[in-house]
Amino acid sequence: MTHGSSPVGAERGMAMGGRGARILAAALMIGALVPLTMATSALAQAAGQAAAQGGKAADGPVVSMPLKDALARARAENRLLLVYIASGKRRQQEIDAFWSLPGPRQWALRHALVVKVSDSATIRDLAKSEVKPGQRADPLVFVDGKLRQVFSCGWPAHEPRMRDGNDAKRTSVGPLLRLDWTLRSIPGHFAGHQVPPMVIAPSSGVGELKGVTEWLALLERARATANAGQLGDAAGLYVGLWESAEGLVTPGLEAARTAMLTSVAGEMYSVAIRDESAKARVDVLRTTRLDAMDWADGKRVWAYLLLCRAANDHLPTMEFLDKSLNDPDAERAIPAGDRAMLEVVLPRSHWSNPLRGGDAAASLRRIVEGRGAERPEGLSEADWERLRSLRAWTLGVEGCRQYAALLRQGKDEQAVAAAKTLLDLTGEDQRAARRLELVVTALADRQGREHQRAWITESGLAEPERAALLKLLDEQLAAARK
């Protein structure tokens, strides 16, 4: 991948410890629905005899209950069932600790029933069943009362992939992604499952802004605060800029999205690496996005990865994704739509010069063309539509980045040519919005130019917002002449 150096390690999973743990690392093929009638019946009978467990809930979303009851409850709620063998206190604490982390906790509450089984009768019957011993165990995955796979094992147990090491404290994203990939590899099973809406509350305290001009003014205020050495306060303002640009606080700020992913993200990083309180503010922003992440949405994944960079804690996640995508078993482990999305997103989740790829116009055309105009084999219609939407979104972001970068280098003619290519590749009904995005990206970089006046006039902005943006342009032009 082009987003960084070769990975030196992968996202670590949680290794099972103890005799009971070693029993469960079976190697069943991903995608194979395996009815274990004999095994499940025996397990349920043994689990039903384990009265000591009784369904007691842990502090997190993990519960302890007989396997028979867990199977019935998961089927009734139409949820994924994840079963951990937890024969020792230490293992139980490890499971509870992982599922108490914000991302995994919210994922479980939305999608799965997570159960710990610790009685010796169940463990003995598992050892006698079709579930064969392996190196170590992740949770068993049950769908509609049947064992579908051993989590993260689409390959022989003696040749594990994407599971090396045991450092779950680095980040929860790797195990969380494997869970999400597993969930979405089950065609249509959860069509009737009512997933609670993802709600994100603003954390910055920045109120609603009236439009892009106020957003740009807040950006200048954040910069001035950072220059004054008030880095924690500056981080709070940058968080407010991010929340506003993504529509959380102020609707209608789509024109600020590229500036959010470039200027704001980069400047958040510059304050976070110099001050612990600033880093804590950025971490809160990142954590709340992880809680509500839709890993099939390339736009949200892109934004989340940039937040990881802004918090200076991106390596574990990027290494895991890079290793996963390049793994020989990726076709079995990662849904086709996710693989296609990651191939678009990962090379762009960095601070690199957008002009590094050479000719700007040619690189924009490559985004539109992708790997062809026809739906790739193995990609569903829904995934194909998502990929096309992501390419169109990427076109806007990359085109605006290139335009601003050329202006910074004083290559105004090339910048205008790049902008024309972007507008030509944009549907006519979207060109006014695209012109406004070009202007806002440039003004956020303090790169106002006279030719932007016509774009503001043609942007469709209503008064007094249009007049305010023209005034800001005049101020930047005047400052450039001094």
Q: Assess whether pLDDT exceeds 90 at residue 164.
A: no
According to the per-residue pLDDT averaged within each range, which of 32-36, 121-125, 443-447 is highest? 443-447
Q: Give dist(CA 40, CA 249) in Å, integer.
A: 50
Let me know if 318 is exposed, middle or buried by CB neighbors in 10 A (0-12, 13-18, 19+): buried
- Identify which of 86-90, 101-105, 309-313, 345-349 has the greatest average pLDDT: 309-313
Around Cβ 54, how many Cβ atoms within 10 Å?
Answer: 11
pLDDT band at 244 (very low <50, low <70, confident <90, very high): confident
CB 448 within 8 A of CB 476: yes
From the centroid of its chain, how far is CA 444?
25
Residue intervals in the chain for CATH 3.40.30: 19-161
Max mean pLDDT among 120-124, 275-279, 292-296 falls in 275-279
- Given this model, what pLDDT does residue 52 score? 35
Is residue 207 pLDDT above 80, yes or no? no
Rg over alpha carbons for the chain, rounded to the nearest Å, is: 25
Of residues 431 and 291, which shows the higher confidence score? 431
Structure tokens at 380: 């569903």
Q: Which tokens belong to 100? A: 């108490």
Q: What is the pTM of this model?
A: 0.77
Q: Is the pLDDT at 203 greater than 50, yes or no? A: yes
Strand order through the sheet with 80-85: 62-64, 112-117, 80-85, 140-143, 146-150
Q: Above 70 in pLDDT, residue 374?
A: yes
% of the chain beyond a pLDDT of 70: 71
**Average pLDDT, integer, range 34-59:** 37
Q: Is the pLDDT of residue 67 over 50?
A: yes
Q: What percent of the chain has pLDDT over 90?
A: 26
Which of 2-16, 101-115, 389-403, 438-452 is predicted most confidently?
Answer: 438-452
Q: What is the mean pLDDT of residues 107-134?
A: 74
Residue with the bigger pLDDT between 334 and 3: it is 334
Q: State the pLDDT confidence band at 295, using cuts at 50, 70 and 90.
A: confident
The reported pLDDT for the residue numbered 250 is 64
Identify which of 20, 87, 101, 90 has the alpha carbon closest to the alpha carbon of residue 59.
Answer: 101
Q: How many of the other CB atoms lie within 10 Å of CB of 463?
A: 7
Which of 13-17, 224-228, 396-400 is modeled with the greatest confidence?
A: 224-228
Q: pLDDT-based confidence at 360, cuts 50/70/90?
A: low
Per-residue pLDDT band at 231 (split at 50, 70, 90): very high
Kindly tell me if the per-residue pLDDT of 465 is higher than 70. yes
Average pLDDT over residues 427-445: 93
Token pair for 207: 């109120």
Amino acid identity, residue 39? A
Question: If one looks up domain 19-161 in CATH, what number appears?
Answer: 3.40.30
Q: What is the mean pLDDT of residues 420-439?
A: 92
Lowest-confidence pick of 60-64, 111-115, 183-187, 438-442: 183-187
Number of helices (H), then strands (E), in the chain: 22, 5
Q: State mean pLDDT over 143-169.
A: 50
The answer on pLDDT for 327 being more than 80 is no
Mean pLDDT value of segment 254-267? 89
d(CA 133, CA 363): 50
